[in-house]
């Protein structure tokens, strides 16, 4: 199990203002390897594309057509200490030389 690092927002434009509640439910998730899973919710911590199919149901029990959209998670940037650590190590002898002269 991974860590959820983001949310997917769904906006609903409701024509009937009298309905008090609209529920959006994930219907299925299709992963980049072609596998479809009805139960597993993606954790969004791995790079790749997931096709998400959702269905909206209002308080009267009316159900919308399904909508499918792709969510692409970019790979995390590689962590690097950069050159600052090496530069500091190279300048360390200069600091000792300066202390000896004073």
Confidence of residue 43 (pLDDT cuts 50, 70, 90): low
> What span, in angstroms and rounded, lies between the C-alpha atoms of 77 and 24?
32
What SS3 string covers 3-46? CCCCCCCCCCCCCCCCCCCEEEEEEEEEECCCCEECCCCCCCCC
In a domain, 28, yes or no: yes
Least confident of 13-22, 47-56, 61-70: 13-22
Of residues 7 and 88, more confidence is placed in: 88
Mean pLDDT of 56-68: 74
Please give the residue range of the domain that contains residue 91.
22-101
As for how many domains the chain has, the answer is 1
In a domain, 10, yes or no: no
83 close to 65: Cβ distance less than 8 angstroms: no
Average pLDDT, the chain: 62
In a domain, 7, yes or no: no
């Amino acid at each position: 199990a991974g860590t959820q690092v983001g949310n997917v927002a769904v906006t609903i434009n409701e024509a009937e203002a009298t309905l008090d509640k609209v529920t959006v439910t994930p219907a299925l998730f299709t992963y980049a390897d072609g596998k479809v899973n009805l139960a597993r919710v993606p954790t969004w911590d791995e790079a790749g594309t997931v096709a998400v199919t959702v269905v909206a149901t209002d308080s009267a029990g009316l159900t919308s057509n399904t909508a499918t959209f792709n969510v692409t998670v970019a790979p995390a940037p590689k962590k690097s200490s950069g050159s600052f650590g090496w530069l500091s190590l190279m300048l360390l002898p200069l600091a000792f030389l300066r202390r000896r002269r004073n």
